[in-house]
């Protein structure tokens, strides 16, 4: 982290009460292009007063926003999806510059967020309550889904478009106001999306943005006016956020780290299985929470390892803007961490079938590149199996049977995603039924649901019952009020006092 006094590169503003505000902090961090180390901007670590001002702005805006008609709220997201489509190329280019992923993948990042915006324009029916007439004589009961108030989103570096779009559109469409805390590593595309949201008609104060790290996050977890926190990021930080926010009486949903197993049966279509597996392992340089980071080769599928390695070796590594197969890691620190873990794997006895450590990318000598790397002979006690590597490293575990594969996956603490490659319907059905993982792909390597459904990672990958986007997040961002009503149309109870609790 650097402290700067000069005015260039540009400073990323805060958004408070509809105004772009320059932070008064003395702590700034560089936003760096991972392929070149060029400093693109500087992001502030907001002060406590600025965080308080953002929450106060959201709290004040809630007063009228909660009463704004559902249709009016929805139409903003109808407009936002159009603006995002029009700006797709610019958004993707910004994302690639600050995050490193390939342009094609950056478009995918924006697109998966856009799908949630489209859904946010459509969630009127999900906000409907229930009604039962005559629950007692002349008594009716109905429920309404009321917005909570100020909701907060804390987002990670790896999907700087999609994940903010998982959060604020749905919260706001449900009648809440919002304070967003983007990743301090790459907030630029997120800020462009926020600008588009204002342009689409989000009123002042309904959406606010603060930047920072631990102190800002803690202040948001503690703030008495914050009612709910959505977090996506690492397990250590998510666990901390969940505990701290829950202790302060807030709703919290924390989507966290993963170790996703792709199980390959020998009856799978070899070519398709290997291609899908490699895309899921090395796409986005392995920096996806749903990356297939462990391949479990079952029985005779072990023999496919040389072909898997040859295909991985053929993947092109380069700067995201040149649209290779694999871009750089997000930071020098991330690269050092990944290299350290590869070394640790070798020391622990894994076989380095493909070594991507020495990869050179012409014209980008300073990029944080690591080439596709495969470690075989991995066992569950090794660090490369126990830890989320979050880099282009695929570890191979070999087992004899599908039962062994299922037991292995179920013994792993994480439950974000898993996939099975097979041509057997019976094997697929058994895998689906017996596997204790929240998102399952059958011949689909990264089974991230579209927003008709919700993101349903489980066990160690998630804290909180309800997932982001879809029907579940409407429940998360609203509270049920139950109204029991009676309108007297006769004189039956006049003059009588009822001291019993029964309604008849
Ligand atoms: P991270 O936990 O380092 O950061 C996430 C957010 O927490 C950022 O906004 C950051 O500023 C904040 N933060 C960082 N340190 C903090 C601290 N000590 N106290 C309070 N707040 C802090 O995560 P990351 O490295 O940006 O993202 C990668 C991780 O996110 C991976 O573990 C990945 O699996 C996970 N992830 C999970 C999902 C999912 O849906 N399960 C999706 C994407 C990413």
Q: Which tens digit of pLDDT belongs to each residue from 39-77? A: 999 999 999 999 999 999 999 999 999 999 999 999 999
Q: Does ligand 1 lie within 6 Å of residue 155's CB atom?
A: yes
What's the gap in Å between 236 CA and the centre of ligand 1? Answer: 8
| pLDDT for the residue 117 | 98
| pLDDT for the residue 496 | 76
150-154/226-232 β-pairing? parallel
Q: Which residues lie below 8 Å from residue 490, measured CB to CB, with a gap of 6+?
A: none
| pLDDT for the residue 500 | 79
Choosing from 151, 289, 332, 363, which is the catalytic residue?
289
What pLDDT, in 10s, does the model give residues 357-382? 999 999 999 999 999 999 999 999 99
What pLDDT, in 10s, does the model give residues 252-289? 999 999 999 999 999 999 999 999 999 999 999 999 99
Q: Which of 184, 196, 185 is nearest to 76 (CA)?
A: 196
What's the gap in Å between 425 CA and the centre of ligand 1? Answer: 37
What pLDDT, in 10s, does the model give residues 99-136? 999 999 999 999 999 999 999 999 999 999 999 999 99
Mean pLDDT, range 232-249, rounded to an integer:
98
- SS3 for 260-301 is EEEEECCCCCHHHHHHHHHHHHHHHHHCCCCCEEEEEEEHHH
What pLDDT, in 10s, does the model give residues 404-447? 999 999 999 999 999 999 999 999 999 999 999 999 999 999 99
Q: Does ligand 1 lie within 6 Å of residue 157's CB atom?
A: yes
Can you tell me the distance from the alpha carbon of 28 to that of 479, in angstroms, rounded to the nearest whole number?
A: 38
Q: Does ligand 1 lie within 6 Å of residue 167's CB atom?
A: no
Q: How confident is the model at residue 2 (pLDDT cuts 50, 70, 90)?
A: very low
Q: Does ligand 1 lie within 6 Å of residue 158's CB atom?
A: yes
Q: Which residues lie below 8 Å from residue 169, measured CB to CB, with a gap of 6+?
A: 77, 80, 116, 117, 120, 197
Indicate whether 501 pLDDT > 90: no
Q: 318, 101 in Cβ contact below 8 A?
A: no
Q: 75, 121 in Cβ contact below 8 A?
A: yes
Distance of CA 96 to the CA centre of its chain: 18
| pLDDT for the residue 489 | 77
| pLDDT for the residue 363 | 97
Share of the chain above pLDDT 90, in %: 94
Q: Does ligand 1 lie within 6 Å of residue 390's CB atom?
A: yes
Residues forming beta bridges with residue 298, ordered by sequence position:
399
Residue 144, phi then psi, degrees to nearest 5: -130, 150
Residue with tokens 């029907």: 471
Indicate whether 5 pLDDT > 80: no
Can you tell me the distance from the alpha carbon of 141 to that of 458, in angstroms, rounded to the nearest whole number?
A: 34
Indicate whether 493 pLDDT > 80: no
CA angle 213, 152, 87 (to 5 degrees): 85
What pLDDT, in 10s, does the model give residues 21-43? 999 999 999 999 999 999 999 99
What's the gap in Å between 471 CA and the centre of ligand 1? Answer: 24
Can you tell me the distance from the alpha carbon of 431 to that of 442, in angstroms, rounded to the nearest whole number?
A: 9
Q: Take atom 16 of ligand 1 and give the residue whose Cα is closest.
A: 214
What's the gap in Å between 438 CA and the centre of ligand 1? Answer: 20
What pLDDT, in 10s, does the model give residues 139-156? 999 999 999 999 999 999
Mean pLDDT, range 329-341, rounded to an integer:
98
For residue 183, the ligand 1 atom closest to its alpha carbon is 9
The two three-digit tokens of residue 38, written as one number = 């060029």
Residue 135, phi then psi, degrees to nearest 5: -70, -20
Can you tell me the distance from the alpha carbon of 22 to that of 14, in angstroms, rounded to the nearest whole number?
A: 6
Q: Does ligand 1 lie within 6 Å of residue 209's CB atom?
A: no
User: If you average pLDDT over every residue of the chain, what do you get?
Assistant: 96
Ligand 1: which of 153, 156, 290, 437 to mutate, judged by most atoms within 8 Å of the beta carbon?
A: 156
Indicate whether 401 pLDDT > 90: yes
Indicate whether 85 pLDDT > 60: yes
DSSP conformation class of 481: E
Mean pLDDT, range 149-171, rounded to an integer:
98
What's the gap in Å between 157 CA and the centre of ligand 1? Answer: 7
Helices 188-200 and 162-173, axial angle in degrees (round to 10) = 30
> Is 289 a known active-site residue?
yes
Q: Take atom 26 of ligand 1 and give the residue whose Cα is closest.
A: 156
């Amino acid at each position: 982290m650097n402290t700067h006094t000069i005015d260039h590169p540009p400073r990323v503003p805060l958004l408070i009460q509809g105004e772009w505000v320059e932070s008064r902090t003395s702590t700034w961090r560089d936003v760096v292009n991972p392929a070149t180390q060029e400093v693109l901007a500087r992001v502030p670590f907001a002060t406590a007063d600025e965080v308080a001002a953002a929450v106060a702005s959201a709290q004040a805006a809630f007063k009228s926003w909660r009463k704004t008609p559902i249709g009016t709220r929805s139409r903003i997201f109808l407009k936002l999806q159009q603006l995002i489509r029009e700006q797709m190329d610019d958004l993707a280019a910004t994302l690639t510059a600050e995050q490193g992923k390939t342009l094609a993948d950056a478009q995918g990042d924006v697109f998966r967020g856009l799908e949630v915006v489209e859904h946010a324009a459509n969630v009127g029916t999900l906000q409907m309550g229930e009604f039962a007439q005559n629950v007692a004589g002349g008594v009716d009961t109905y429920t309404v889904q009321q917005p909570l108030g100020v909701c907060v989103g804390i987002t990670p570096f790896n999907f700087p478009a999609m994940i903010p779009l998982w959060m604020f559109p749905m919260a706001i469409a449900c009648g809440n106001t919002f304070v967003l805390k983007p990743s301090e590593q790459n907030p630029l595309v997120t800020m462009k999306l926020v600008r588009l949201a204002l342009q689409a008609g989000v009123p002042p104060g309904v959406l606010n943005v603060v930047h920072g790290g631990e102190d800002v996050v803690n202040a948001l977890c503690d703030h008495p006016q914050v009612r709910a926190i959505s977090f996506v990021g690492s397990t250590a930080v998510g666990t901390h956020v969940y505990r701290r926010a829950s202790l302060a009486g807030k709703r919290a949903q924390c989507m966290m780290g993963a170790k996703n197993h792709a199980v390959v049966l020998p009856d799978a279509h070899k070519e398709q299985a290997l291609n899908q597996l490699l895309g899921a392992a090395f796409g986005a340089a392995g920096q996806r929470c749903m990356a297939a980071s462990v391949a479990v080769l079952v029985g005779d599928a072990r023999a496919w390892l040389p072909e898997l390695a040859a295909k991985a070796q053929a993947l092109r590594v380069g700067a995201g803007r040149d649209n290779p197969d694999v871009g750089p890691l997000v930071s020098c620190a991330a690269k050092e961490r990944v290299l350290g873990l590869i070394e640790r794997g070798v020391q622990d006895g894994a076989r380095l079938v493909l070594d991507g450590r020495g990869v050179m990318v012409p014209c980008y000598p300073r990029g944080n590149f690591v080439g596709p790397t495969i470690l075989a002979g991995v066992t569950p006690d090794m660090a490369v199996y126990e830890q989320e590597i979050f880099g282009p490293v695929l570890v191979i575990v070999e087992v004899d049977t599908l039962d062994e594969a299922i037991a292995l996956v179920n013994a792993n603490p994480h439950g974000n995603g898993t996939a099975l490659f097979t041509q057997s319907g019976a094997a697929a059905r058994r895998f689906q039924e017996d596997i204790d993982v929240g998102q399952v792909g059958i011949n689909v390597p990264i089974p991230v649901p579209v927003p008709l459904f919700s993101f349903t990672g489980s066990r160690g990958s998630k804290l909180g019952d309800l997932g982001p986007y879809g029907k579940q997040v409407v429940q998360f961002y609203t509270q049920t009020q139950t109204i029991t009503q009676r309108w007297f149309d006769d004189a039956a109870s006049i003059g009588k006092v009822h001291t019993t609790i029964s309604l008849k």
